[in-house]
Amino acid sequence: MRKLGAGVFVLVLMVAAAYGFYWYQVKSQADDLVQQMSPFAQVRYGSVYAHPDGTVGVDGLTITPHQMHAPVSIEAVRIQAGSPLFFLFGSDTPPERLNISLKQVRQGLDSELFRTVQQQSDLMLESNPLYVSPNALGCGSVRQFDINTMKRMGFSEMLMDINMDYRGDSRARKIHFDLFVDIHDLGETRMEMALSADPNQLRNPMIASGNARLETLSFNYADRGYNQRRDRFCAAEAGIKPAEYRQQHRHLFVQWLNASGVELPDSLLAAYFDLQQPDADMAFSLRPVGGVGAAEVMMQDPMTLLQSLNLQFSINDKPLVLDGIDWSELMTGLAMAGNPGRTDSVSAAEPEEGMVAAASEAEAEASAGSEASQVAESVAAAEQRVRAQPVSKRYQPTPLAELPAYLGAPVRIFTYFGNDVEGQLVHADGQGIRVMQRLKQGVAEYPLDNDRIQQAEVWR
């Protein structure tokens, strides 16, 4: 009996010692990782997690990249490589299975990362002051859904859960990658990918990417609150109800397509509007027969490659028929689509018609104040001048100092960003100008500082 008790005691000690060594190895690897990242970021964690089933990780992780004001915080990190032996002794070959789970990843929208993204958006809007993103049409004064708009919608941070899973089969020469991202109160995405490749080649990414062939790729997205919040926000911005906003957006979006000369198939147009509905979901998959490798992607014609991918697409569980769509022409049309903030009614050939429309819009706004009345009178006067001499008038370069003499006249402004602005001149002084533009959704005025103007042309 004493020998049995002693044996049990020794066994417990051995298990405790093995677990202690296991925990120490996990902590050492975590500390090594912190040290390796120190030139790029400050990394801290609260405690180490080491489960006997081979799951390891840390709790209370914070990562603060240098030059950034807000850290990325992660409540729990879990890594499972199939066996504790992988972390005890390490290995030169990738494990047969690796799962990485990140719980409650937080990143504030005031961080330097998102500030940089917003700065890029601001520069784009500044370079083209008439730009309105097609998906923002009907959303009051909102020109695009950028970081600042997200804040106005009530988002203060990105809070998400991320799960990544890898499975490799050396005998079958198969690799599977799965990725799941759940952004709280916004949406969730799932991607699954299967490749024919030798998992052992992952030690050399160049060889692996050159030999691998994509067999399947699927992507799923589901709305988890963003669409409903966007509808409420835009409805409030436009002073209407959410259902009315959706109808108005539909009307303006179709107008933008027509004005841009884009013939979007009815099936794709219906799919776009279906995807804007609350709780919408989308499924997309590629299953090329025999797989597709890097060589085909590089050498095949894009349209031929697209046809060989066996593309499947559905919105809200409704399959989308893609046969018969000229993707080349459609992509070219969308890339060349006109700016929704521009109007085709004002042109060098027929400025009178554009001015009449702009004058009527200005008169509709005249009750808002005396300045609007003066603008309408200036536009009417300019219209009379153009009608008096329709043959000799054309857009002519005009010094900025002379622009106050042409209030109400059609102008074309070229900025240092390379974009031209067309409309009616409603204000000009030594500091800058304001150009009135008739948009699809009404009339808007856009200010331009003189130091940003490369050349001004007046129809005279």
C-alpha–C-alpha distance, residues 148 and 109, integer Å: 9
Terminal CA-to-CA distance of the chain, rounded, Å? 113
The predicted pLDDT at position 272 comes to 93
Confidence of residue 391 (pLDDT cuts 50, 70, 90): very low
Contact 316, 280 (CB under 8 A): yes
In order of 136, 356, 386, 389, 400, the CA distances from 408 in angstroms are 29, 11, 11, 16, 15
Average pLDDT of span 316-345: 68
Higher-confidence residue: 116 or 315?
315
Average pLDDT of span 230-243: 94
What is the DSSP code string of 17-86? Answer: HHHHHHHHHHHHHHHHHHHHHTTTEEEE-SEEEE-TTSEEEEEEEEEEETT-SS-EEEEEEEEE-SSHHH
Confidence of residue 77 (pLDDT cuts 50, 70, 90): very high
* Tokens found for residue 113: 């990362």
Is the pLDDT assigned to residue 432 strictly greater than 70? yes
CA dihedral 267, 272, 278, 283 (to 10 degrees): 70
C-alpha–C-alpha distance, residues 172 and 144, integer Å: 48
Q: Return the H-helix or E-strand segment holding 294.
A: helix 294-299
Tell me what percent of the residues of the chain surpass a pLDDT of 90: 30
The predicted pLDDT at position 294 comes to 74
Closest residue by Cα to residue 234 from 224, 246, 251? 246
CB count within 10 Å of CB 100 equals 16
C-alpha–C-alpha distance, residues 297 and 6, integer Å: 67
Task: State the chain's mean pLDDT as an integer.
Answer: 78
Higher-confidence residue: 281 or 169?
281
In order of 26, 59, 86, the CA distances from 20 in angstroms are 10, 18, 16
Average pLDDT of span 344-354: 38
Contact 214, 195 (CB under 8 A): yes
Q: Give the least confident one: 112-116, 321-325, 346-350, 417-421.
A: 346-350
Q: Return the H-helix or E-strand segment holding 362.
A: helix 351-364
177 forms beta bridges with: 166, 193
The predicted pLDDT at position 239 comes to 93
Q: Give the least confident one: 62-66, 72-76, 123-127, 381-385.
A: 381-385
C-alpha–C-alpha distance, residues 426 and 365, integer Å: 13
The predicted pLDDT at position 6 comes to 60
Average pLDDT of span 4-31: 68
405-417 pLDDT tens trace = 998 888 988 876 6
Average pLDDT of span 161-180: 91
- Residue 269 CB burial class (10 angstroms; 0-12, 13-18, ≥19): middle
Please identify which residue in the block is written with the tokens 């500091």.
Answer: 431
* Tokens found for residue 114: 């998102």
22-34 pLDDT tens trace = 677 778 888 888 8
Confidence of residue 441 (pLDDT cuts 50, 70, 90): low
Contact 423, 445 (CB under 8 A): no
